[in-house]
Amino acid sequence: MNANDRTPADLLRSALAADPGRPLVTYYDDATGERVELSVATFANWVAKTANLLQGDLSAEPGDRLALLLPAHWQTAVWLLACSSVGVVADVGGDPAAADLVVSGPDPESLAAARNCSGERVALALRPLGGRFPQAPEGFADYAVEVPGQGDRFAPYAPVDPDGPALAVAGLELTGADLVERARADAAELGLAPGSRLLSARPYDTWDGLSAGLYAPLAAGGSVVLCRHLDRLADGGLEKRLESERVTATAR
């Protein structure tokens, strides 16, 4: 990775320049049997479209706070990098009433909390292949309906300040530069290097989960195998996955 990278969006741009075809995020949901693999180029395309939605249709600006009420999921990872691209603070599990806009998953409790946000509201069905809701929840834009028509390239209206707030999770607030520094340190601690494959079953509700499940592999030039509901995997399934996915490190 480029030593001059100072935001997560910078890390993604460097990964795209280095090897766009390699895997970046491989997602499993062992409650549904879903598996999705995104190359750096495919992931970056989703990020660009989401950033264009965020900046354009949702009128988000640098410094705005987005309450992100989503589980560990490949689409959550997309939103985290889209926020970084625009300069929006991703407040993971944050209070929607204190946020400028909110992004919610499909569960009723999350949607009910999200309605406390007075700003723009987006809901994700989290269905396989990024599928849409049969009917969007009232008061929410359906991400799967809104994002496909967005542009494949993104340019922020204003440069993103690496020293501005970027992420809030579990009482921790980080600037973009702080986040990159921590991700690099975590990558070293986990033994990650370019080409490493880290399997993470950690939830996204702490820094450790976000780092293992996205930021540290990205900072190292590696990739993540992100597993949700890993406890539902059949006996012997984990060993087979570690082998088939060529996993070199784990975080559980």
| H or E element, residue 141 | strand 141-142
Rounded to whole angstroms, the Cα distance separating 251 from 230 reads 12
Rounded to whole angstroms, the Cα distance separating 107 from 176 reads 30
Dump pLDDT digits (tens) for 106-138.
999 999 999 999 999 999 999 988 899 999 999
- Give the per-residue pLDDT at 130: 86
Q: What is the pTM of this model?
A: 0.98
User: Are 73 and 126 spatial neighbours (Cβ–Cβ below 8 Å)?
Assistant: yes
Read off the amino acid at residue 111.
L
- Give the per-residue pLDDT at 2: 75
Q: Is the pLDDT of residue 204 over 70?
A: yes
* 241 contact partners, CB below 8 Å, separation of at least 6: 28, 199, 225, 227, 233, 247
Q: Is the pLDDT of residue 63 over 90?
A: yes
Stretch 186-198: mean pLDDT: 97
Rounded to whole angstroms, the Cα distance separating 158 from 38 reads 28
Mean model confidence pLDDT for the chain:
97
User: Are 198 and 192 spatial neighbours (Cβ–Cβ below 8 Å)?
Assistant: yes
- Give the per-residue pLDDT at 3: 77
Per-residue pLDDT band for 1 (boundaries 50, 70, 90) equals low
Per-residue pLDDT band for 201 (boundaries 50, 70, 90) equals very high
Tell which phi-psi region holds residue 213, choosing left (phi > 0), alpha (psi between -120 and 50) or beta: alpha
End-to-end Cα separation, the chain, in angstroms = 25
Question: Within 13 Å, how many C-alpha atoms sit on residue 56's CB side?
Answer: 14
Dump pLDDT digits (tens) for 164-181.
999 999 999 999 999 999
Stretch 35-48: mean pLDDT: 98
CATH numeric code, 8-251: 3.40.50.12780
Rounded to whole angstroms, the Cα distance separating 116 from 95 reads 8
Q: What proportion of the chain, given as a percentage, has pLDDT over 70?
A: 100
Return the structure tokens found at 81: 């990098």
Stretch 244-252: mean pLDDT: 97
| H or E element, residue 90 | strand 89-92
